[in-house]
Chain A
């Protein structure tokens, strides 16, 4: 018996391998990204990054219809993108077992919202499992595939940042091969959702829900842990561990299957305790359903509905409700007002040169998108006016022009991975509806924000094998944009001139700004740069780039301006600062010095 510490994400990948998954796809997104990265180690699973979550879902759906056990993974907001196929695949049902992993991010550690995707499982009427730790994450993959095939439904496996990234012990098993299910002709009445067939499936789904409700009463995924009868906690996922920590002796109804809920079991449990309390992160999802059963229940009257729970919060809330003793105040206080460390773009990041040029525009409106370049919304760059969801920069910029009439000085900034994910359709609309904005695709060759994943223009796939790479300039031209420019953001003068000219022009333009990310797919190795203090006039033009390697020197000019010095450990040799310097004080460090 091999025991191993696995993250929830790694455990799901291991579960996929052990329980015979043959195909897995994803679009990266924290905290789900590591699932496919871990799946990629298992050669028996055909695994891939897809261009976005909808495509990832559809390909996985096809693999299931083809008969393979299948898994698709995404972050919570990815499910919004994949919602269209999800809602109707819920009608058709599956062939090979199908798991949708939804990785939610309560507290928005790295997300733009904290939507509670348990609502999606209920909305789509599909079963949902919520593991509390890595051992369960692995086992629940097996259970979910069984449920999927038995009840003919896609199944949601819902994790949160803490269960996805936290590590705990799991026992490893061997792979069980599962042959393709029904590899013959595809059942059209099941998979062609014309209204006449869909109406029939709708009834089948209602029957499926009833059978699942019965299953929920019997499955060991749900269990009662009897204890102190004064209080009974209904809980699931990560929250279970926190309550167990602060009150191990209480009575628990631990739900592994959270859609549908086991009404009978909940009634029995409620009857066995004095107070019934639901502990759940985010929405009162279980609480509302239990209230509909007519049971007196507490939940959000005690616990917050915003942000993730922690054992501290659970203890404090239970103390406030008079159920537990409050924790003694800590003997030490955290020191307030400490130097903040906001995340910053890397030294030599290609986004910096783009922002330096944009910073020179007067009165520009700049719509942003999601990626490392979103950090350009923060000081010292302070460039972005909007950032809503992936791909939105282009549509938002077009809409601002529609409202205000003039496309001059309206710029959309979008990363390469994001452009491929959902920017292309926005661009097509901009062309079709005669927009005259300027679009900058900041192309660093990789999906960097999520840790450096390959995409359709990076030339490699999930396993690092070489593959077709789309030419972004040709793609934009092919769509019909007349004014497309390939540009180098580290060549400041030329780049800045181009941006100025195009933002003043009365036509739609796309600037493909290309230089590699300095971290991914591997750290760049380039010669470094240094400032000649004799020549430096202390104008500070280079430091406006916000490159973290450019520091104020101790030396001042005669006029009292700080000269610049380059931190040789941080510099990655992009050359941006040298191209900005008006007196050529910044030069490459000669080799061998």
Chain B
């Protein structure tokens, strides 16, 4: 991440907490003394549709939208969705992908098919892609909604943003009841990369 602006594209499926995750990243950037902008489209996404959120931070950020081929990180909350957005990946960009598969109802009903092995497709295209068992970790910790904190934990090891700012913002932005569980999930994500 040598460019003055860092571009993070979050992608996944409606209901996965992507918008909250993008708020946490932007706020962490702000508290690290940077300018930040983010953009996504609300609306149809609620009902299981495709969701993407653009987050950009740096000394001065003009556009809230990332251009194709310029995402430093694609943070994918669902394995197949990482493939849908690869055109945004910068030449030296990283892909962090939750290995969870979310099969859309129309595939379950037999109207379309879900790709056989999206993880293999991803690593064939991006050999350095980081596969994160975020869903498995979240289940281990007792709540599938912790996926986004695991993913943020992994991401936090790769950005110039202050570690303490990350923790403080996660603690503040997640529902109070689930604060400790989310912080634990965040640390599990960090530990994955530390290894």
Contacts from A to B (Cβ < 8 Å) = 3, 5, 30-31, 109-110, 133, 161-162, 165-169, 241-242, 244-245, 248, 310-312, 315, 327-335, 338-346, 372, 375, 379-380, 451, 519, 543, 546, 548, 551-552
* Of A331, A338, A344, A375, the contact of B84 (CB 8 Å cutoff): A338
The majority secondary structure among interface residues of chain B is mixed
Closest beta carbon of chain B to A571's beta carbon, Å = 13
Q: Is the CB of A5 within 8 A of B121?
A: no
Given known A241-B62, A339-B107, contact A5–B69 (CB-CB < 8 A): no
The majority secondary structure among interface residues of chain A is loop
* Of A5, A109, A338, A375, the contact of B36 (CB 8 Å cutoff): A5
Q: Which 4 A-B pairs have the closest CB atoms?
A: A110-B43, A330-B69, A548-B105, A245-B63
Q: Is the CB of B109 within 8 A of A380?
A: yes
Given known A109-B41, A543-B109, contact A330–B87 (CB-CB < 8 A): yes
Q: Is the CB of B37 within 8 A of A166?
A: yes
Q: Is the CB of A328 within 8 A of B69?
A: yes
Given known A5-B30, A165-B42, contact A331–B91 (CB-CB < 8 A): yes
Q: Is the CB of B84 within 8 A of A109?
A: no
Closest beta carbon of chain A to B17's beta carbon, Å = 15
User: How far apart sit A310 and B26, CA to CA, in the bound complex (Å)?
Assistant: 20
Which residues does chain B contribute within 8 Å of A551, judged by CB atoms? Answer: 108-109
Which residues does chain A contribute within 8 Å of B45, judged by CB atoms? Answer: 343
Which residues does chain B contribute within 8 Å of A312, judged by CB atoms? Answer: 65, 67-68
Q: Is the CB of A5 within 8 A of B23?
A: yes
B13 is an interface residue with CB less than 8 A from chain A: yes
Q: Which residue of A lies closest to B14 (CB)?
A: A343
Closest beta carbon of chain A to B68's beta carbon, Å = 5
* Of A248, A338, A345, A451, the contact of B80 (CB 8 Å cutoff): A338
Q: Which residue of A lies closest to B74 (CB)?
A: A332
Among the 9-residue stretches B47-55, B150-158, B185-193, the one with 4 or more Cβ atoms under 8 Å from chain A is B47-55
Which residues does chain A contribute within 8 Å of B50, judged by CB atoms? Answer: 341
Given known A338-B80, A543-B109, contact A311–B88 (CB-CB < 8 A): no
User: How far apart sit A340 and B83, CA to CA, in the bound complex (Å)?
Assistant: 12
* Of B41, B83, B113, the contact of A334 (CB 8 Å cutoff): B83
User: How far apart sit A241 and B110, CA to CA, in the bound complex (Å)?
Assistant: 44
Q: Is the CB of A333 within 8 A of B87?
A: yes
Q: Which residue of B lies closest to A379 (CB)?
A: B111
Closest beta carbon of chain B to A475's beta carbon, Å = 29
Closest beta carbon of chain A to B134's beta carbon, Å = 17
Per-residue CB proximity of B93-116 to A under 8 Å, as 1/0?
000000000001111111111110
The listed residue with most B CB atoms (<10 A of its CB), out of A169, A333, A551, is A169
Given known A109-B41, A331-B69, contact A167–B26 (CB-CB < 8 A): yes
Given pairs A167-B37, A551-B108, 8 additional interface contacts (CB within 8 A): A109-B44, A335-B83, A335-B121, A338-B115, A340-B112, A342-B104, A344-B104, A548-B108
Which residues does chain A contribute within 8 Å of B68, judged by CB atoms? Answer: 312, 327, 330
Can you spell out 16 A-B residue pairs with CB atoms less than 8 angstroms apart?
A: A166-B39, A168-B61, A241-B62, A242-B63, A311-B67, A330-B87, A331-B89, A332-B126, A334-B86, A339-B80, A340-B104, A340-B112, A341-B50, A343-B46, A344-B104, A543-B109
User: How far apart sit A51 and B36, CA to CA, in the bound complex (Å)?
Assistant: 37
Chain B positions 24-44 with a Cβ under 8 Å from a chain A Cβ: 26-27, 30, 35-44
Q: Is the CB of B37 within 8 A of A168?
A: yes
Q: Is the CB of B47 within 8 A of A375?
A: yes
B64 is an interface residue with CB less than 8 A from chain A: yes
Which residues does chain A contribute within 8 Å of B49, judged by CB atoms? Answer: 341-343
Closest beta carbon of chain B to A259's beta carbon, Å = 25
Q: Is the CB of B63 within 8 A of A244?
A: yes
Q: Is the CB of B63 within 8 A of A311?
A: yes
